[in-house]
Amino acid sequence: MWKAVGIDAWLAARKTSLEDARGTVTGIIGRVKNEGDAALIDLAKKYCTLEHVAVTDEERESAYDEVDAQVVEALIEAHARIERFHERQRPRDLWFEEMEPGVVLGMKSTGLNRVGLYVPGGRAAYPSSALMCAVPAKVAGVKEICACSPPPIKPLTLVALDIAGVTEIYQAGGAQAVAAMALGTESIRPVQKIVGPGNIYVTLAKMMLREHAEIDFPAGPSEIGIIADSTAHPKVVAADVLAQAEHDPNAACILITTDPTLPAKVGKEIEKMVAEAPRKEIIVEALKNSGYTVVKDIDEAIAASDVVAPEHLSIQVADPLMVVTKVQNAGAIFVGRYSAVACGDYAVGTNHCLPTAGYSKMYSGLDVAHFCKTASVEIIDRDGLEAIGDIVETIAEAEGLYAHSQSVKVRRAL
Amino acid sequence: MWKAVGIDAWLAARKTSLEDARGTVTGIIGRVKNEGDAALIDLAKKYCTLEHVAVTDEERESAYDEVDAQVVEALIEAHARIERFHERQRPRDLWFEEMEPGVVLGMKSTGLNRVGLYVPGGRAAYPSSALMCAVPAKVAGVKEICACSPPPIKPLTLVALDIAGVTEIYQAGGAQAVAAMALGTESIRPVQKIVGPGNIYVTLAKMMLREHAEIDFPAGPSEIGIIADSTAHPKVVAADVLAQAEHDPNAACILITTDPTLPAKVGKEIEKMVAEAPRKEIIVEALKNSGYTVVKDIDEAIAASDVVAPEHLSIQVADPLMVVTKVQNAGAIFVGRYSAVACGDYAVGTNHCLPTAGYSKMYSGLDVAHFCKTASVEIIDRDGLEAIGDIVETIAEAEGLYAHSQSVKVRRAL
């Protein structure tokens, strides 16, 4: 099952078509638009009976009773690290600089007012996704942070959302949750932006409702690219392959190596580990989407990696920092033997909401900037206006916009 | 024509429906998809005969002969200022910080590889928009910057695109230009992102093709909000109203003032100035969308302004910096009597591509960040892994992702 793959073929297979979901999602959006909360409650019936979609304060608090104290502690510790790192990303609230005498320019950054988080649920709870979505919003200064997760919402998810300081929590999943946050219902007021990972229904609903609420980026099944040379430890490489593969039958891994003997060694370790893995069936499926490619040198490895633009890039080579400086496209870059991707998934501090399927060529992973917007600030005095007045008047008149020119002339004549 | 208006009513009228354009734009996108360059050449026939859509180096160079030397000089001066300011926005290429012993985290920022600029044309040339779109892309390090402007492309536009260092220029306008850049034709390879202002056909095409190419933000007709007290100069306020109004019959202005006597004074100045304005007919139309509102104090003025979230905000009060610190929503903020919005439109250095119709509540104006994307970088050593290992394993196992936990255990056992 561990086989050689072509770079282009691997990437091509990452592109998920959302078309199959379009009919269903269109129907769900229509229902939420017309029926509001009733649609959410009706669509939840498949899983549980909901009285109301909003989670109460009591439900939030009692969730802690159902979660192991050690897990709560771990979530608090992870939250502190994620918050600390994201604080470093926060843009300056307001800065100015004198660009020339009489001309002071700057930027003002403000958090969005109201955002929505989609936290996946269903079969399992993903408290880590709750933290990853909520923390950058909180650090950005977003006042109203509303989260949706599929009913019945998991106590683990509730605890994580509570630790992260989310202001509103609703039991709604899938495309209906996205529709509710984008369009609003009786319980849920519309948000400005919706972030967070989901299945193809969630992703397509986000794409289809962008005229109502902005989104982070399209995200699909998880993936890893590993650049490795002969110094890589086969067991470490294999462990990261398995960790990625266990996410989803559609997850995928690619090993790009300069060492022609490495793939076989990694393959052997994978075989041993798969046999013992609790999520063996999922891993076996995902390994069908996975494989290795042997390249002639590190530069070729970097070039190949930049083509696939992996969500996660692990660098297992003798001089990994050189690769970091050269690589162009990746969601998150894990450097060296001890930097397990799982650390970034949970606790080291960086964000795990990342673009997949080559989208790291054009999108950033979730960060504080996703929840901020900026305004430029222009402060010009009489001297500054004199310095640039002729330039402004000349271009304005060349564009035929005479009142623009006049607005400068009026001031120069004061 | 200068009248009192309600804040909510003014904002509601700013929302442009794109629906009327949907049929036309869908047809154009289909044609470009199926016919490629031939569709561009055929759709250009209404305006001119095109042999090919790509502008040649000779055409670029000869454009300078058709533009007044003083205008070329002004564009070069404006370009230098726009470039200087946008350089200040450039994110650090790569930064690291030790977050705890053995854990070094950072971010790497990279320019997009290939972007498309839409530079409006048609009746007039907008060299300023060419500079405003191209400079942040160039500063971000984008390698391939492709620009489209309606045929026959204006020499003034060509000169500005050349000054800004755009790598490819095509004669294509409207929805077909957006479709060509998003989907590709024989001449134009697809881009990752399309930016720049346009009419509703351009805007709708950008929205409809977001699954192919990301966009900056939806932008509609230009607008200004002015916060003024009794220290404001009526003539200055009137001049800015006219400068905004001359853009487009759909442009709009709103004066928010604490001085009940100011609107009449401004109205008188407007009347005088309109009589002499070369673009009188457009201004008269735009003034129908415009007006003033009197508020009780500056805080109420700020709150009103934050509701309309004007594209341009001019602050004409005794203590303007206090307003800058408090205001939440605006595209660009012009402070004090001499800071004409026209300076920002052309030459002071800030960008004039800004969100309209209340969209500054959620979008930033065009800046260098629009053309960059980031990756997080994680460097963890054995000590760092020991410090966070238990947290990672605990949460991973709580989520049922045992291979994640295992990928940490394998490393801790090395």
* Active-site residue set of B: 311-312
Same domain flag for B262 and B316? yes
Q: Residue A300: its pLDDT value, please? A: 98
Q: Residue A219: its pLDDT value, please? A: 85
Which DSSP category does B54 fall into? B
Q: Residue A205: its pLDDT value, please? A: 96
Same domain flag for A224 and A211? no
Q: Residue B16: its pLDDT value, please? A: 80
Residues in contact with B183: Cβ distance below 8 Å, sequence separation at least 6, in sequence order: B29, B32, B33, B190, B209, B212
State the total domains in chain A: 3
Query: In a 3-state reduction of DSSP, which class is residue A336?
Result: coil
Q: Residue A81: its pLDDT value, please? A: 98
Same domain flag for A58 and A207? yes
Q: What is the mean pLDDT of residues A124-153?
A: 96
Shortest Cα–Cα distance, B407 to chain A (Å): 5
Query: Of the residues B182, B215, B248, which one is the last residue of a structural domain?
Result: B215
ipTM value: 0.95
Tell if the CB–CB gap between B338 and A97 is shorter than 8 Å. Answer: no
Q: What is the mean pLDDT of residues A138-165?
A: 97
| Chain B hits for A362, Cβ within 8 Å | 112, 192-193, 214, 373
Instruction: Check pLDDT > 90 for residue B315.
Output: yes
Instruction: Note the pLDDT tens digit of each residue in A368-384.
Output: 999 999 999 999 999 99
Instruction: Note the pLDDT tens digit of each residue in A48-102.
Output: 999 899 999 999 999 999 999 999 999 999 999 999 999 999 999 999 999 999 9
Residues in contact with B51: Cβ distance below 8 Å, sequence separation at least 6, in sequence order: none
Same domain flag for A163 and A203? yes
Residue A32 lies in a domain: yes
Query: Of the residues B215, B231, B248, which one is the last residue of a structural domain?
Result: B215
- CA-CA distance, A210 to A196, in Å (whole number)? 14
Instruction: Check pLDDT > 90 for residue A1.
Output: no
Query: In a 3-state reduction of DSSP, which class is residue B93?
Result: coil
As a whole-number percent, the residues of chain A with pLDDT over 70 amount to 100
Tell if the CB–CB gap between A340 and B399 is shorter than 8 Å. Answer: no
Residue B357 lies in a domain: no
Q: What is the mean pLDDT of residues A4-12?
A: 92
Q: Which residue of B has its CA nearest to A402?
A: B278
Work out the pLDDT band at B265, boundaries 50, 70, 90: very high
Shortest Cα–Cα distance, A225 to chain B (Å): 14
Phi, psi of A219 (to 5 degrees): -130, 135
Instruction: Check pLDDT > 90 for residue B393.
Output: yes
Shortest Cα–Cα distance, B361 to chain A (Å): 7
Using the structure block, give the residue that is written with the tokens 């070069």: B76
Closest partner CB to B376 (pick from A94, A105, A351): A351
State how beta strands A168-171 and A193-195 pair: unpaired
Same domain flag for A257 and A183? no
Q: Which residue of A has its CA nearest to B94?
A: A325
Work out the pLDDT band at A313, boundaries 50, 70, 90: very high
| Chain B hits for A396, Cβ within 8 Å | 342, 345-346
Peptide bond into B150 cis (omega under 30): no
Residues in contact with A150: Cβ distance below 8 Å, sequence separation at least 6, in sequence order: A47, A120, A121, A122, A171, A172, A173, A174, A177
Element (H, E) at B403: helix B402-412
Tell if the CB–CB gap between A403 and B283 is shorter than 8 Å. Answer: yes
Q: What is the CATH number of the domain that holds A231?
A: 3.40.50.1980
Same domain flag for B312 and B239? yes
Q: Residue A304: its pLDDT value, please? A: 98
What single-letter amino acid sits at A221?
P
Instruction: Note the pLDDT tens digit of each residue in A215-244.
Output: 999 888 999 999 999 999 999 999 999 999
What are the E-state strand segments in A28-126? 94-100, 103-111, 114-118
Q: Residue A211: its pLDDT value, please? A: 86
Using a CB–CB cutoff of 8 Å, tell me whether B124 touches chain A.
Answer: yes
Q: Residue A31: its pLDDT value, please? A: 97
Closest CA to B336 of A382, A179, A155: A382
Closest partner CB to A333 (pick from B84, B378, B404): B378
Q: Which chain A residues in 7-66 lie under 8 Å from chain B, judged by CB atoms?
A: none
Same domain flag for A194 and A83? yes
Instruction: Note the pLDDT tens digit of each residue in B94-147.
Output: 999 999 999 999 999 999 999 999 999 977 889 999 999 999 999 999 999 999
What are the E-state strand segments in A101-243? 103-111, 114-118, 144-149, 168-171, 193-195, 214-215, 223-228
Residues in contact with A211: Cβ distance below 8 Å, sequence separation at least 6, in sequence order: B207, B218
Beta bridge partners of A105: A97, A378
Are the CB atoms for A225 and A325 separated by under 8 Å?
no
What single-letter amino acid sits at B197?
P
Same domain flag for B321 and B393? no
- CA-CA distance, A321 to A330, in Å (whole number)? 15
Q: Which domain holds residue B114?
A: 19-215
Shortest Cα–Cα distance, B181 to chain A (Å): 15
Q: What is the mean pLDDT of residues A247-265?
A: 96
Q: Which chain A residues in 294-333 lie under 8 Å from chain B, judged by CB atoms?
A: 313, 324-325, 327-333
Residue B374 lies in a domain: no
Joined tokens for residue A157: 């998810």
Tell if the CB–CB gap between B385 and A343 is shorter than 8 Å. Answer: yes
DSSP string of A135-148? HHHHHHT-SEEEEE
Q: What angle is formed at CA B179 by the lines to CA B177 and CA B183, rounded to 5 degrees?
A: 125
Instruction: Note the pLDDT tens digit of each residue in B346-378.
Output: 999 999 999 999 999 999 999 999 999 999 999
Query: In a 3-state reduction of DSSP, which class is residue B172?
Result: coil
DSSP string of A111-125? E-SEEEEE---TTS-
Same domain flag for B315 and B237? yes
Residue A373 lies in a domain: no
Work out the pLDDT band at B389, boundaries 50, 70, 90: very high
Same domain flag for A67 and A138? yes
Mean pLDDT (chain B) is 96
Same domain flag for B181 and B58? yes
Instruction: Note the pLDDT tens digit of each residue in B134-176.
Output: 999 999 999 999 999 999 999 999 999 999 999 999 999 999 9
Closest CA to B382 of B344, B413, B341, B349: B413
Beta bridge partners of B316: B228
Residue A43 lies in a domain: yes
Query: Of the residues B215, B243, B263, which one is the last residue of a structural domain?
Result: B215
Residue A370 lies in a domain: no
As a whole-number percent, the residues of chain B with pLDDT over 90 amount to 94
Residues in contact with B260: Cβ distance below 8 Å, sequence separation at least 6, in sequence order: B294
Please give the annotated binding residues of A for substrate, written as ranges.
222, 244, 247, 312, 345, 399, 404
Using a CB–CB cutoff of 8 Å, tell me whether A142 touches chain B.
Answer: no
- CA-CA distance, A155 to A198, in Å (whole number)? 19
Q: Based on the number of CB atoms within 10 Å of its own CB, is B56 exposed (0-12), middle (13-18) or buried (19 or more)? A: exposed
Same domain flag for A51 and A66? yes
Closest partner CB to B394 (pick from A71, A97, A376): A71
Residue B356 lies in a domain: no
Instruction: Check pLDDT > 90 for residue A18.
Output: no
Joined tokens for residue A343: 């650390």
